[in-house]
Amino acid sequence: MATEAFEDIVEDFEFLDDWEDRYAHVIDLGRAMDPLEDALKVPATKVEGCASQVWLMPEIEAGTFRFRGDSDALIVRGIIAVLSALYNGVAVSDVPKIDAKAELGRLSLEEHLSAQRSNGLKAMIQRINKLAVEAA
């Protein structure tokens, strides 16, 4: 059920053998994202449960789910970019059907994150699902 953008990341990860290279790639994905405007970095868009500051802004149009996000930590910005690739462009009703744990498992991402970052990742996924359910 993964998007083409997410499949591209999976392919990139298959090409990168070393986890340090994968980590650097995730950071590069985050750097390539447009920053979220400061006016959108408000309590309503903040994700609780993350060690870093994280904001997710939904943009639902014609039944299609999209979100933009930002963080004050480079690796977390990269994780947001990965989640954007996984979820953006999916029908709102399909967002909760995505098995994020399984899809992200294809990247071996969570096993290389600290416990705090893993908890933050789960909090972001929960927030994304909540936003989609509220929009549906």
Q: Find the mean pLDDT for residues 7-11.
A: 95
Residue 61 falls in which region: left (phi positive, over 0), alpha (psi -120 to 50) or beta: beta
- Residue 51 above 90 pLDDT? no
Amino acid present at 126? Q
Place of tokens 């947001």: 80
Question: Which of the residues 2, 36, 47, 50 is marked catalytic?
Answer: 50
pLDDT at 17: 82
- Residue 52 above 80 pLDDT? yes
Half-sphere exposure of residue 13: CA atoms within 13 angstroms, side-chain side: 20
Q: Find the mean pLDDT for residues 45-60.
A: 94
CATH code, domain with 114: 3.90.1010.10
- Residue 123 above 70 pLDDT? yes
Amino acid present at 119? N
| Tokens read off for 86 | 């996984």
Share of the chain above pLDDT 90, in %: 83
- Nearest to residue 125, comparing CAs of 97, 5, 37? 97
Distance CA 15, CA 101 (A): 21
Contact 114, 39 (CB under 8 A): no
User: Can you give the residue range of the structural domain that contains 22?
Assistant: 4-135
Could you read off the pLDDT of 92-115 as tens digits, one per residue? 999 999 999 999 999 988 788 888
Could you read off the pLDDT of 71-80 as tens digits, one per residue? 999 999 999 9
Residue 95 appears among annotated catalytic residues: no
**pTM above threshold 0.85:** yes
pLDDT at 115: 84
Amino acid present at 116? Q
Rg (CA), the chain: 14
Residue 1 — pLDDT band, cuts 50, 70, 90?
low
CB neighbour list of residue 6: distance below 8 Å, 6 or more residues apart: 82, 85, 86, 103
Q: How many domains does the chain have?
A: 1
